[in-house]
């Protein structure tokens, strides 16, 4: 199955986004399968992964999506692309050049939010491959999308809370040093599972 995925996905690499404003980031906290608390060069706060929607924590594969996201971003210096300050969403790129967003869809741990099948919509193609080999959540007969789940349970998507941190991990003198962030003031997120995001109060 992995061989089939690799063959199909090789043809999708050419349609990945290539040019955008970018800034370096480090992960302070993984909130769930598609939301992180980042310290970047210009922005600190919640970032949702653009173009995808992972299961909520109370849904099947919600925990698996969060754990996979933690695994691939832990200790990494990431590049944030196409970040919107209004939607709090962007594309995260690993040092290898792979898209974090696409990786979650590829392994069946998130949906592509744009449902149009077009040459430019590489995420829906990743999803189609994951479906065809019954990867991750596609191993189940029936799946409720996260947006349906949130609507039924009256849940607000995490990044829409507009949470911001207060201090960057980066300084002009040392862009590569670790932040040593002290997390203080915390906020409960709107979710059936008790989850909190904490602000840097340094």
Q: What would the pLDDT profile of 143-196 be if each residue is shown by its tens digit? A: 999 999 988 887 766 655 544 333 333 333 332 223 333 334 444 444 433 444
Domain range enclosing 187: 2-172+182-197
Distance separating alpha carbons of residues 178 and 25, to the nearest angstrom: 11
Each residue's pLDDT, cut to its tens digit, for the chain (202 residues) gives 544 454 444 444 434 443 347 899 999 999 999 999 999 998 999 999 999 999 999 999 999 999 999 999 999 999 999 998 888 899 999 999 999 999 999 999 999 998 887 878 889 999 999 999 999 999 998 899 999 998 888 776 665 554 433 333 333 333 222 333 333 444 444 443 344 444 444 4
- Cα–Cα distances in angstroms (integers) from residue 80 to residues 14, 23, 68, 127, in the given order: 19, 5, 19, 22
Residue 177 within a domain: no
Average pLDDT score, the chain: 76
β-pair partners for 27? 38
Residue 202 lies in a domain: no
* Per-residue pLDDT, 116: 84
At residue 31, the 3 state secondary structure works out as: strand
Within-domain flag for 57 = yes
Domain count, the chain: 1
Q: Is the residue at 78 inside a domain?
A: yes
> Is residue 50 domain-resident?
yes
Q: Which stretch of DSSP H or E encloses residue 152?
A: helix 146-153
In sequence order, the β-bridge partners of residue 24 are: 79
Residues 146 and 29: beta-carbon distance below 8 Å: no
76: region left, alpha or beta (phi > 0 left; psi from -120 to 50 alpha): beta
Domain for residue 192, yes or no? yes
Q: Give the CATH number for residue 72.
A: 2.40.50.90
Question: Is residue 133 situated within a structural domain?
Answer: yes
């Amino acid at each position: 199955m992995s061989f089939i995925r690799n063959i199909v996905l090789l043809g999708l690499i050419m349609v990945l986004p290539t040019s955008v404003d970018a800034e370096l980031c480090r992960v302070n906290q993984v909130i769930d399968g598609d939301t992180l608390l980042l310290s970047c060069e210009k922005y600190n706060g919640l970032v949702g992964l653009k173009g995808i929607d992972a299961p909520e924590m109370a849904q099947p594969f919600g925990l698996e999506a969060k754990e996979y996201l933690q695994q691939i971003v832990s200790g990494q210096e990431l590049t944030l692309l196409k970040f919107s300050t209004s939607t709090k969403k962007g594309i995260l790129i690993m040092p290898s050049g792979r898209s974090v967003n696409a990786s979650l869809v590829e392994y069946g741990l998130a949906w592509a939010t744009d449902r149009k099948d077009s040459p430019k919509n590489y995420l829906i193609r990743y999803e189609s491959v994951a479906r065809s080999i019954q990867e991750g959540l596609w191993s189940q007969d029936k799946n409720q999308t996260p947006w349906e789940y949130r609507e039924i349970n009256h849940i607000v998507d995490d990044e829409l809370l507009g949470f911001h941190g207060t201090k960057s991990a980066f300084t002009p003198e040392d862009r590569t040093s670790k932040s040593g962030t002290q997390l203080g003031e915390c906020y409960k997120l709107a979710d059936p599972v008790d989850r909190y995001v904490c602000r840097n109060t340094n």
